[in-house]
Amino acid sequence: MDKEVKYRINEFDSFSKKFLENGYIIRPIANFDALDKIRDTVIQIATDILEIDLPKDKEFFLNSFHDLIDYKKLNDFRLSIYNKLNSFSWFKSLYYSLAETYIKSLVGNELVIQKRVNLSIQLPNDDSSILPVHADVWNGDSPYELVMWIPIVDCYASKSMFILPIEEENKISKSIKSFRTSSSDDLFNIIKGNIKWLDIKFGEVLLFSQNLMHGNIVNIENETRWSMNCRYKSLFSPYSAKKLGEFFEPLSIKPVTKLGMNYKFPKGF
């Protein structure tokens, strides 16, 4: 076998193997110019809303954003940026380009994408935007979905998110009767010794199955977290509460599938 082809197959095998073992993977993004454009657009929208000049140091502006905003107005502010970003026709395809090759490897090449990309802003010591431990599949997501999570600042410790890798969930399963608890705090206490706090730099992407337990706690670092996330699934994998046309829209459909979907038997058949 050609050396180059063999290398690519081995590389793909180890990538898939690692994802299957852990249920998540962190990789460098594929298109740095696109990420820069997305970050610049977020900053442009934010400074327009605040009616301030563009910052010289983009990283510092985003990380110290909590000094510029009233905590009570955070959600309205976040929604304004989210709506504006999602109104740009180029935004979603650029976002997808950051991890297109990884998504095709993990999910397939006939894909649907969440209609709108989410934006999350976690200010230091703000308990209003905590996501307690959960798995999206418990609340109406299909188990066939992949989440693409992109930070636009470096994320670490409580400024990031935690995840319970598949191997760790399997380990805990052996010693407990059930993960069903009366509160998410109780569940967090069961898994907290086995969770992974994700260290993700600007320029990297996290791809994870939302079947894994995950969440965040109050950000006690002295920096603001900015991140985006979006779900993908194979066009023909089973749907749950989030339907095609409502929550998802087609991203890539192959010509033979288009013919098949539009086929009508000739008259009389």
Contacting residues toward Fe ion, per CB under 5 A: 136
Measure the CA–CA gap between 39 and 33, rounded to whole angstroms: 10
- Minimal CB distance residue for Fe ion: 136
Half-sphere exposure of residue 115, counting CA atoms within 13 Å on the CB side? Answer: 10
Cβ within 8 Å of residue 89, ≥6 positions away: none
Which residue's CB is nearer to Fe ion, number 85 or number 213? 213
To the nearest whole angstrom, how small is the minimum distance from the Cβ of residue 11 to Fe ion? Answer: 29
To the nearest whole angstrom, how small is the minimum distance from the Cβ of residue 145 to Fe ion? Answer: 10
To the nearest whole angstrom, how small is the minimum distance from the Cβ of residue 131 to Fe ion? Answer: 6
Which residue's CB is nearer to Fe ion, number 63 or number 210? 210
Name the nearest CA neighbour of 251 among 34, 142, 96, 146: 96
Which residue's CB is nearer to Fe ion, number 66 or number 78? 78
Q: What is the DSSP letter of 201?
A: -
Measure the CA–CA gap between 176 and 165, rounded to whole angstroms: 17
Q: What is the DSSP letter of 73?
A: G
Which residue's CB is nearer to Fe ion, number 44 or number 139? 139
To the nearest whole angstrom, how small is the minimum distance from the Cβ of residue 214 to Fe ion? Answer: 6
